[in-house]
Structure 1
């Protein structure tokens, strides 16, 4: 076999074009190549190059962004048993369909226990505030905590006690936006860059603030002042977006106009609590549940529960709505509110309360 001898494509038909250009030493040896052959082709001026330990690009010139991603995943992924025990393929008879290589893993299994995260993942999620893939010196890849694997060259290994379910983007397993944000923020010191990423996550509809704060909390990043400042802006942004969706729900689904952002009081008594919307003629109250993991969840829920119980003892129906439900199922939430309004005529009259602006 000389340097110009092509590899037999038969056992690799299950791979994409890019995956056929980015191969491991084990895959090349399964094609009949020796270590000396591989090293000879990777010499300066040769037709191949080594991108990462044990990972080769079968062409000269700079790697594309897609080739880099596949190389990183090939390096970091847990090797399927079938690649370690590659079986020969029996040649097909003339006119027969090309057989699938026996035991070859399907696309989602090819990169077991590895997914792109951090800024590279955000670029794949089409964040305009994330730098282009080719401008990144390093690509973060998420692997289980107990994997024996080291960062190398353009790969930075990020470990997780539990792996999230990846999104599949153009055949690339990519961490969900909240996890990718946390891993990106962990390596950023620019407050403006952090704020832009978090704001785009919410404003662009990628995820809700609570999911982002949960990941930042688990990553222990909320002790950094510039992250805390960005989170405060994120929560304010998320609250404003949720309120806008609430206004749209009332308008687009033909609900009666409520009074907005009010506080209820008993005549001459203490405040009963603030509400996002209230229908006085129906004694129906609506409250946005914007709790985040940064807050004491048990204490916050106890406060919500006490307020709700107190109002319902007074004959006021309380509807709790989360920003996520408003985003994902606005029509269903409108039906919940409409049902509560229609049921008001079947209830005992509510106690008299004073409604004041909040």
Structure 2
């Protein structure tokens, strides 16, 4: 807004008052960086004066100002953390109340709260809000902003306009600071049960964060994998019924007559010698031998003339029609190939 200066006799821009930083109805940005204040004509000295004890403003983080004297809302705390991260990037102005997506994003429990996890505490109850930045950033934890570094920044998701880490990454950052086994288990289970992500993606992030050496995390992961498998099995049942496939024998063990045990499968059509295995595995280095055994079992079954259809929980969730077509094709193809070896089918 331009005002007439009594000394200049003409039009000149004067520093904005606190009122002019807001619209008449009180809307508008209430968290600004020192750089943004300078763009409004308010220098460091004036900002410091307004942030004095009892003043109309407050500095909530280094270089980040709250333009009212009361406690910040949860939204204001989120924006303050993002602005703090953005304001520490030379020559990169912060815009739109948050940091550029490639520079910072909310992670940890705050991110899970934004993803609407019922097991995550409310945003206002968090002493600190974790913000994910590149490992090369020179940024320190301060106040309610906890800096988390990563060598590779994930692609953020926008939740109510806020850049937020994907659920698997947010879970890993949250779990890294938790010691309560029940809380960890609730968070991991809700991630799968709530359809936020697959178990394997969570375990992958936990493994990369080197958290799988903590007993309470290992116990929660075991429960998570069991939850993921149960959900995948349910989707397989629904797929067979919905797409009109013939009923298989469910959850059976295969064995050669008088011979060795061949292993268990999730579904088996004996007339067509077609088996389905749900691969709910997760990449845990200590289980490399388990995965090798899995591969050898599958190879052995195929050498005996059985067709093994490999499905993942994610495919069953995201592409059931495609998976039904794969199964139908395998069942129909059985008519054109030599019969598989006779195997004994036992419940498991």
For the criterion TM > 0.5, the same-fold answer is yes
Q: Does residue 64 of structure 1 match 2:76?
A: no
How far has the Cα of 1:5 moved from its partner? 5.4
Paired with 1:238 and 1:326, the residues of 2 have a C-alpha distance of 12
Residue in 2 that maps onto 1:53? 62
Q: Does the 8 Å CA contact 2:85/2:99 hold for their aligned counterparts?
A: no
For normalisation by structure 2, the TM-score amounts to 0.89
Query: Which of residues 124, 128, 132 is equivalent to 1:138?
Result: 128
For normalisation by structure 1, the TM-score amounts to 0.87
Residue in 2 that maps onto 1:81? 91
Q: Does the 8 Å CA contact 1:119/1:131 hold for their aligned counterparts?
A: yes
How far has the Cα of 1:107 moved from its partner? 8.3
Paired with 2:295 and 2:284, the residues of 1 have a C-alpha distance of 19
Q: Structure 2, unaligned stretches of length 5 or more? A: 1-13
Paired with 1:318 and 1:299, the residues of 2 have a C-alpha distance of 21
Q: Does residue 278 of structure 1 match 2:268?
A: yes
Q: Does the 8 Å CA contact 1:178/1:207 hold for their aligned counterparts?
A: yes
Paired with 1:123 and 1:8, the residues of 2 have a C-alpha distance of 30
Paired with 2:215 and 2:303, the residues of 1 have a C-alpha distance of 43
Q: Does the 8 Å CA contact 1:167/1:173 hold for their aligned counterparts?
A: yes
Paired with 1:198 and 1:331, the residues of 2 have a C-alpha distance of 28
Paired with 1:82 and 1:273, the residues of 2 have a C-alpha distance of 58
Query: Which of residues 292, 309, 331 is equivalent to 2:282?
Result: 292
Residue in 1 that maps onto 2:344? 354
Paired with 1:150 and 1:353, the residues of 2 have a C-alpha distance of 63
Residue in 1 that maps onto 2:188? 198
Query: Which of residues 236, 249, 252 is equivalent to 1:246?
Result: 236
How far has the Cα of 1:292 moved from its partner? 1.1
Paired with 1:81 and 1:9, the residues of 2 have a C-alpha distance of 26
How far has the Cα of 1:44 moved from its partner? 2.4
Alignment CA distance shift 1:23-1:231 (3 Å): same
Corresponding residue SS for 2:152: coil
Alignment CA distance shift 1:292-1:319 (3 Å): same
Q: Does the 8 Å CA contact 1:262/1:355 hold for their aligned counterparts?
A: yes
How far has the Cα of 1:300 moved from its partner? 4.0
Q: Does residue 167 of structure 1 match 2:157?
A: yes
Paired with 1:240 and 1:112, the residues of 2 have a C-alpha distance of 37
**CA offsets 1:35-90 (integer angstroms, 9 cap, x no match):** 1111111122322111100001122211111111000000012547353xxxxxxx
How far has the Cα of 1:298 moved from its partner? 4.9
Residue in 2 that maps onto 1:98? none
Q: Does residue 32 of structure 1 match 2:30?
A: no
How far has the Cα of 1:3 moved from its partner? 8.4
Q: Does residue 316 of structure 1 match 2:306?
A: yes
> What does 1:180-191 align with in structure 2 at a 5 Å threshold?
180-191=170-181
Paired with 2:60 and 2:97, the residues of 1 have a C-alpha distance of 22
Paired with 1:307 and 1:262, the residues of 2 have a C-alpha distance of 14
Corresponding residue SS for 2:137: coil
How far has the Cα of 1:171 moved from its partner? 1.2
